Homo-oligomer: A and B are copies of this chain.
Amino acid sequence: MAAVQARMESTLERFLPAPQIVPERLHRAMRYTVLGAGKRVRPLLAFAAGELVEADPARVEVVAAAVEMIHAYSLVHDDLPCMDNDVLRRGKPTCHVEFDEATALLVGDALQSLAFQILAEHAVADGPEAQIEMLNVLAVASGSRGMAGGQAIDLACVGKPLSLPELEFMHVHKTGALIRAAVVLGARCGRGLDAKQLGRLEHYAKTVGLAFQVVDDVLDCDASTATLGKTAGKDAAQEKPTYVSILGLARARALAEELRIQAHAALSPLGATAVRLHDLADFIVLRKF
């Protein structure tokens, strides 16, 4: 895991415009946002899915970087005063606090363009048609029927009582869509999977995506700001519906454990090359930050 994280750091560094290129402040802010922090969960998933299909790591690092840039942009916009209004992210002041709101807005906008640019500029599949499909996967996962749509559903839910299926629907979009894209794009970098294998992989992706969110909700009410590197307890403060607010802490923890077992079960017919995906389900559920 540390090797993938280190590799991603240098890959992202290489894809981001140098800080001395005009406009310097924007490029500095983009680098501030993306580099030097983050668990890199989505890149880890992309690399693990890549191992399943013996993908060239030089391809996987491109799709992982593209997904991570979309993720980083979403955090910057999510932290803006008109959204969650947060001041701390990955242990550092958020982008709009360190720079300013207008710059943070443009950082997010430019990171989204850059994600598509690097996915268009590097051969990540056996042919250009497959590459266009991968560009489309990322676009759909990012858009109004994916991540951005999930944010909008989240906005509409603040202060409202939500059922468990409604909460799940929100998270399938808000965090699930991009986590699924990370797994699917990683797997598309290598030899093709058959429909059954792909189905299992998609089920795995959905399950760890939900588990990730359940654990996020548990940690938000259970861990300290110092441990998380972001403001703890803000869900309750903002009256956001969460797995903890709906299920209580104990049942939310039990749900995360159940999802971990489901994720493992989805992988078991895929054989030994799925070991990293298996371990990542553990990492996602058992993490402490």
Contacts of A27 in B (CB 8 A): 144
Query: This chain: how many copies in the complex?
Result: 2
Contact pick for A156, options B23, B120, B135, B156, CB 8 Å:
B23
Complex: chain B residue closest to A134, CB-CB: B120
Stretch from A146-154, A240-248, A250-258 contacting the other chain = A146-154
Stretch from A40-48, A121-129, A182-190, A212-220 contacting the other chain = A121-129
Shortest CB distance A63–B (Å): 14
Contact pick for A112, options B80, B102, B106, B113, CB 8 Å:
B113
Contact pick for A128, options B109, B117, B129, CB 8 Å:
B129
- Inter-chain contact A25/B156, CB cutoff 8 Å: yes
Complex: chain B residue closest to A77, CB-CB: B105
- Inter-chain contact A144/B102, CB cutoff 8 Å: no
Shortest CB distance A126–B (Å): 12
Per-residue interface assignment for chain A, residues 106 to 148, with 1 indicating a CB less than 8 Å from any chain B CB and 0 otherwise: 1011101110110011000001110111011011101111101
A9 at the interface (CB under 8 A from B): no
Per-residue interface assignment for chain A, residues 1 to 23, with 1 indicating a CB less than 8 Å from any chain B CB and 0 otherwise: 00000000000000001000111
Contacts of A117 in B (CB 8 A): 136, 139-140, 143
Quick one: given A139-B113, A139-B117, are A102 and B30 in contact (CB under 8 Å)? no
- Inter-chain contact B145/A21, CB cutoff 8 Å: yes
CA distance in complex: A116, B128 (Å): 16
Quick one: given A82-B101, A114-B144, A127-B128, are A135 and B109 in contact (CB under 8 Å)? no
Per-residue interface assignment for chain A, residues 71 to 113, with 1 indicating a CB less than 8 Å from any chain B CB and 0 otherwise: 0011001001111000000000000000011110110111011
- Inter-chain contact A106/B26, CB cutoff 8 Å: no
Contact pick for A114, options B25, B82, B131, B143, CB 8 Å:
B143
Given contacts A103-B152, A127-B128, 9 further A-B contacts (CB under 8 A): A21-B145, A77-B106, A106-B148, A112-B112, A113-B140, A116-B139, A117-B136, A117-B140, A132-B135
